[in-house]
Amino acid sequence: MELFGFGPHLMIDGYHANPAKLDDVELIRQVLDELPVAMEMTKIMPPHVARHTGLTPEDSGVTGVVIIAESHIAIHTFPHKGFLSVDVFSCKDFDTQKALDALVGRFEIGRFDTHFINRGKEWPKNLEEVEKILAGEREYVEARIA
């Protein structure tokens, strides 16, 4: 368990994904319905999924989100480009590899980039540890300025 931070935020940019799956509103709804359960998170409303028609087919796609007690999971797809972006943000720790594997498998993602941050660095899970970390960071910054 992290000693500081509000919670993990996993961001996935998926390339060369299966265009038919990226265009499948029901599949995206199903993924958003099942992923919170698999990640031991709490859905507080059903997923909302909508098709978006852009100015060109390349700009069109499907967007979906599920609100969870811990925060949210969002998926944005661009089938003509074989691209999707996903955010999994939770105030509760979760298995990021499990989430990534599930999404790569369901959408047949060929290549992906991930970004991971621990949001809310000063969120006090352990106040004494947070104070030590922040004091150290401030000392470092002050030393670099001087």
* Cα 13 to chain centroid, rounded: 10
Residue 41 tokens read as 């998170």
How far apart (Å, rounded) are the C-alpha atoms in residues 78 and 83?
5
Helix ranges restricted to H, the chain: 19-22, 25-38, 96-107, 127-145
What residues contact residue 29 under an 8 Å CB cut-off, 6+ apart? 47, 49, 64
Q: Which residues are catalytic?
A: 71, 76, 91
How far apart (Å, rounded) are the C-alpha atoms in residues 77 and 26?
13
3-state DSSP call for residue 17? Answer: coil
